[in-house]
A = this chain, B = another copy of it.
Amino acid sequence: MNDQLQIADEVISAIHQVMGLKPIALHEPSFNGNEWLYLKECLDSTFVSSVGKFVDRFEVDLAEFTGAKHSVAVVNGTAALHIALKVAGVKTGDEVIMPALTFVAQANAVTYCNATPHFVDSEKHSLGIDTSKLRDYLINFTEQRSNKCLNKSTGRVIRALVPMHTFGHPADIDGLLSIAKDFNIILLEDASESLGSYYNGRHTGTFGRLGTLSFNGNKTITTGGGGAILTDNTDLAKYAKHLTTTAKLPHAWEYRHDEIGYNYRMPNINAALGCAQLEQLPLILANKRNLFEKYKKAFASVKGINLVTEPNQCRSNYWLQTLLLEESQAEQRDSILKATNDKGLMTRPAWSLMHELAPFHDCPRMDLSEAESISKRLINIPSSA
């Protein structure tokens, strides 16, 4: 009990040292640029809804920032995942590989396509999919038939592989790309948390056939609610735009829709906020990196706790600063969470692992021992830029 109090006190002290003594949120947005100017301009134009110059500009700006050829702005990151899966060809009865250690939106979006999530293990340094373990697993448990990857035990096609760049740290993209190629699985990157994160100098979300972003209020930049789909493929970008705008065929006045569509377009007023936020992104990223350096110093002397650092050859956005307790300290996670939150310092554990949630209990999965270990030892600490 004394040990527990001691380590929790040390965590509180380290956070206080970096953030000051006041209560502090896990992550808050900052609006220090043209946010109000653009919102006002948008309102004055009366184009606040699904058509307008800000939504077009936001898409151009996002493509420019990330280096993707195309971006399609949508209402949120979940919608981006849903449509990316659809346009990539995920169909009823397919399986989609994703980490067990992820946010529930990924698994939900797969079920919206009437497909089944298939959970795989994480790698302890990047917190992303363990590609070496995944390759062995696929060799043993799948077979190729007509250039498709079949799950031998369920007989279903494994259509897509959706890594996440957890808390902004890029997953092993080279490993993922080579698995996608060798096993005929489509790579879609969930870059919801990694706007401003780079792998070998290239922006995350631009390696897979499509990538997705999120601009929820807790993200690096926000549009209130929002997301985007990134792709270099012009046909897929057009198709994503079509599906997100009720699949309406272009016509001056007719209302014809050629397939089941969605009302997923980002409203212009949310895009106005996004344009201003994107201008601030370089500064926000610099501040978040600076925060990491401060935490690094503050936690240097705290024994049994490691601050998660960007993987080799990667530049992380440090969206959420992350502590990993050593195995010997794992039992102290809850007392640290309680003590910090009681002090008004918002901290949180990893998400519940996907296979532990009722709706996904029966989904296929590999051995998940590393994800289980990480999830018991992980704490996110206040991370505002």
Q: Hey, which bits of chain A sit against chain B, CB under 8 A? A: 28-31, 35-36, 39-40, 43-44, 46-51, 75-79, 103-105, 108, 111-112, 114, 216-218, 222, 224-225, 246, 248, 252-263, 265-270, 273, 337, 341, 346-352, 357-359
Contacts and interface: CB of A to CB of B under 8 A. Distances in A.
A103 B255 CA distance: 9
A352 B247 CA distance: 13
Given A77-B263, A270-B270, 6 more contacts: A36-B40, A76-B263, A224-B267, A224-B269, A225-B267, A253-B346
Contact of A31 (B36, B43, B50, B352): B43
B50 A104 contact: no
8 contacts: A36-B43, A51-B217, A75-B225, A76-B263, A114-B114, A257-B357, A258-B359, A259-B359
Contacts of A252: 341
Given A257-B357, A337-B253, A348-B253, A263 B78 contact: yes
A224 B268 contact: yes
The 10 A-B pairs of least Cβ separation, nearest first, read A49-B217, A224-B267, A78-B263, A224-B269, A225-B267, A255-B351, A253-B348, A48-B224, A76-B263, A104-B257
Contact of A217 (B40, B47, B76): B47
A357 B255 CA distance: 10
Copies of chain A in the complex: 2
A229 to B, nearest CB: 15
Given A108-B261, A224-B270, A225-B265, A39 B49 contact: no
B224 A104 contact: no
Nearest to A112: B112
A378 to B, nearest CB: 12
A158 to B, nearest CB: 21
Nearest to A379: B253
A104 B258 contact: no
Determine chain A's interface SS by DSSP, over half rule: loop
Given A29-B46, A218-B49, A341-B253, A259 B75 contact: no
Most chain B Cβ neighbours within 10 Å, of A30, A222, A267, A346: A267
B216 A49 contact: yes
A23 to B, nearest CB: 13
A269 B260 contact: no
Contact of A105 (B78, B114, B224, B246): B246
Contact of A104 (B47, B246, B265): B246
A257 B355 CA distance: 11
Contact of A269 (B77, B246, B273): B273
Contacts of A104: 246, 248, 255, 257, 261
Contacts of A358: 258-259
A255 B352 contact: yes
A76 B351 CA distance: 28
Contacts of A78: 262-263
Contacts of A50: 216-217, 225
A35 B39 CA distance: 11
Contacts of A246: 104-105, 108
B222 A49 contact: yes
A261 B359 CA distance: 10
Given A75-B75, A254-B352, A225 B49 contact: yes
A31 B39 CA distance: 13
A43 B39 CA distance: 10
A215 to B, nearest CB: 9
